[in-house]
Amino acid sequence: TGSGGNVDKMIAVDPEEGNSLIASDDISSNDTKTATKTKVKRLRKKKTVHSPLIKYGSLVLLVAQLVGLVMLMRYSRTHTNGKDLYLSSTAVFCMEVMKFLTCNMVVLMHSNYNVRLYLQEIYHHTKESPIEILKVSVPSFLYVIQNNLLYLALSNLDAATYQVCYQLKILTTALFSATLLKRKFSPTKWFSLVLLTIGVAIVQTSGNTSSNPTKNSDEQNRTLGLIAILCAACTSGFSGVYFEKILKGSSTSLWIRNIQMGIPSMIIALLTVYVQDRETVASKGFFVGYSRTVWTVIVVQAVGGLIVAVVVKYADNVLKTFASSFGIVISCIVSAIFFDFRPNLAFLCGAFFVVMSTVLYSKPDRKPRKRLKKGSTLPVTVKNTSR
């Protein structure tokens, strides 16, 4: 302090936050409390920083799920070794049962293996919550249809084309979000969606990418595969947005929610088996054409999806984008090595557009800076010049 009684006012800058905090001897106690509360809120908003091992391990697991499942499904649908092809409807039913049992085991484990506590929780969220079960019946029905469509698509499309075309679920999700949730998108996101549509259209018109198209055309129907993947993208987008709309703000855990969805899903999947393949099941059996590869597909699809759902919280949006992009690239490479896949120039251009659109769409929007109200002033540093 100077002899004239003036007080120096200093502006301290928080090195981690980059925000200015005014510190002076003549700040009132109320201002101090307000500044402290602001600081606490700012610190609470900080995202939890996970170790690089968990972060990039999540990326590897996401890519493995995206690529591994598609490759296994494609292999199981095209390499039967002279045996009967297994029924996709029964595979979907087995997957739903396995996922339902897995979620129940996790809930039991969270209950410290207390059977009574576990049964009480299950009873509360199922028997005593019929409205919740009814709500999730719509996405459950759509997910069962979607899984059957994906089997149909991979029976008629190579894995790389499947991966590229299935990215249309980004477009359908955005359109349903804008319609049902009234969500607004920036010009960059709309441009990425247009780029995505162009890329997928180029891939769809690129023709047969196999080195022996005559052989494949006898066993596969590319048009049917493309229709199946487009319908699957639509069901994926609508079911995801609908699920978000009806369950927004719900505190129910992931495992309980999957149990609730599992009940109608198993019923719908079993009805699908009866309607679609009852004659084959009656003559050849429920598990016709099943092999170790088929059971591996079912396990990876059931358990792998749940694991990825848990891992996603450790992976930020950038990593999830890289996972989708890497999935497309790795699918092309693996398909070229093991599945007689020969991409032409049109396919490569379309795939490049799809990858670029995925990156652009996942890029966070810049928030506009708040303008100062008329008449308001910024804090300044007032130095004491008295000696």
Residue 107's pLDDT is 93
Taking residues 18-42, report their average pLDDT: 46
Tokens coding 61? 């697991």
Question: Which residue reads 């795939």 in tokens?
Answer: 351
Whole-angstrom CA distances from 115 to 101, 106, 121, 146, 359 are 15, 12, 10, 34, 46
What is the identity of the amino acid at 80? T
Confidence of residue 173 (pLDDT cuts 50, 70, 90): confident
**Residue 8 scores a pLDDT above 60:** no
In the block, residue with structure tokens 């005593």: 128
Instruction: Please work out, in degrees rounded to the nearest 5, the angle formed at the alpha carbon of residue 199 by the alpha carbons of 193 and 204.
Output: 125
**Cα–Cα distance for residue pair 327/348, rounded to 1 Å:** 14
Please state which of the ranges 42-51, 67-76, 93-102, 108-117 shows the lowest mean pLDDT.
42-51
Paired strand residues for 9: 382
Q: Which residue type occupies 352?
A: F
pLDDT score recorded for residue 209: 53
Task: Quick: pLDDT tens for 206-239.
Answer: 765 555 554 454 457 888 999 999 999 999 889 8
**Phi and psi (nearest 5°) for 97?**
-65, -45
Six-digit token pair at 303?
Answer: 């358990």
User: What is the reported pLDDT for 189?
Assistant: 85
Which pLDDT band, with edges at 50, 70 and 90, does 59 fall under? confident
Q: pLDDT (tens digit, 9 = 90+) per residue, 133-171? A: 998 899 899 999 999 999 999 899 888 888 888 888 888
Q: What is the pLDDT of residue 312?
A: 63
Can you give the pTM of this predicted structure?
0.73
Q: How far apart are CA 253 and CA 55, in angstroms?
A: 22
Confidence of residue 259 (pLDDT cuts 50, 70, 90): very high
How distant is the alpha carbon of residue 277 from its chain centre? 31
The DSSP secondary-structure symbol of 17 reads: T
Task: Please provide residue 70's backbone torsions phi and psi, each rounded to the nearest 5 degrees.
Answer: -65, -45
Here the tokens at position 39 are 């600081």
Look over the chain and give the mean of its residue pLDDT values, rounded to a whole number.
77
- Give the mean model confidence (pLDDT) for residues 304-328: 68
pLDDT at 315 over 80: no
Q: Which of 32-46, 64-78, 114-128 has the lowest mean pLDDT?
A: 32-46
